Amino acid sequence: MKSAAIFLLISAVVVFNVYAGHPTEAPKEENMCIGAGPQAPRDIDNIAGINKVVFNMAPAIEDMNMCNIHFHRNAEHKAAAYSTFVEDGSNSGWACKEPAQGRLEKEHVEYNGCSGIAEGDTIEVHWVYTTCDIDSEGVTPMGGGLSACMTTTCSNPQLRVIAQVFVLQKDSELKFSESPLSHNDPRVVYTGSTTGTTYSNNHCSPFQVTWDVKTTCGALDIDNFSAWCSNNKYNDNHAHGVRELVTAEGLLSNIKK
């Protein structure tokens, strides 16, 4: 009995060491979302990606229906024009220009009825388009947010998101429009997924999205934008959180230049 007890004790120690011997070693990002399609957001200046899930690009927005407009405080994507990292909790992301310090000292409670913004903030606006016929008579979207892009008879649409990064400033000449800026603006197009804090490198998004991301950073009038934010048909009156930048090549598509 004594030898059996010693054997069990040794076995328990071995098992403990197998599972806890390297507690600080995290699994590789590529293994956290096995089988998932390419993810977003990403550094759009880096074209590398080896995700093997391939899907067709969504149609041009002229052949789709706009179903949602929302925005994130700090940019989710990264590019040369917005590459200053801002440590901001669930809003941690990228700012348009130096210095990013000091912005967190401002109140992000509410600005003219728009929650979570302040003068000097960088935001990333997303115009979302769907192939679902959400405007047909008798067709009811399934809810708000991304659900507004689907119906009970169209639950797996193609999606295209136009993304533009802005700095919110007083008395800027540029005013907000529910139509995205011209396609002549410099941009990067790639296949990815939905974003937001619901997803991470441990929990990948299953939705397939064609991304059309502007590489420039515009100065947007904060009073004009907050007026839209506080009263729009999408009921989107607050800044959304930021999904961590996806960097593992196994979770990214290859950008075709």
Give the CA radius of gyration of the chain: 22
Strand partners, 162: 127, 212
User: Alpha-carbon dihedral of residues 234, 160, 217, 104, nearest 10 degrees?
Assistant: 50
pTM equals 0.84
- Look at residue 147 in the predicted model and tell me its pLDDT: 84
On the CB side of 87, how many CA atoms lie within 13 Å of its CA? 1
Name the stretches of the chain with pLDDT < 70: 1-32, 98-105, 137-143, 183
- Look at residue 138 in the predicted model and tell me its pLDDT: 60
User: Alpha-carbon dihedral of residues 190, 187, 134, 53, nearest 10 degrees?
Assistant: 0
| Cβ atoms 128, 240 nearer than 8 A | no
The CA-CA-CA angle for residues 136, 132, 156, to 5°, reads 145
Q: Measure the CA–CA gap between 96 and 61, rounded to whole angstroms.
A: 26
Q: Where are the alpha helices (DSSP H) in 154-230?
A: 222-230
- Look at residue 139 in the predicted model and tell me its pLDDT: 65
- Look at residue 31 in the predicted model and tell me its pLDDT: 54
- Look at residue 102 in the predicted model and tell me its pLDDT: 55
Q: Measure the CA–CA gap between 106 and 86, rounded to whole angstroms.
A: 13
- Look at residue 109 in the predicted model and tell me its pLDDT: 84
- Look at residue 16 in the predicted model and tell me its pLDDT: 27
- Look at residue 240 in the predicted model and tell me its pLDDT: 95
Question: Which amino acid appears at position 106 of this protein?
Answer: K
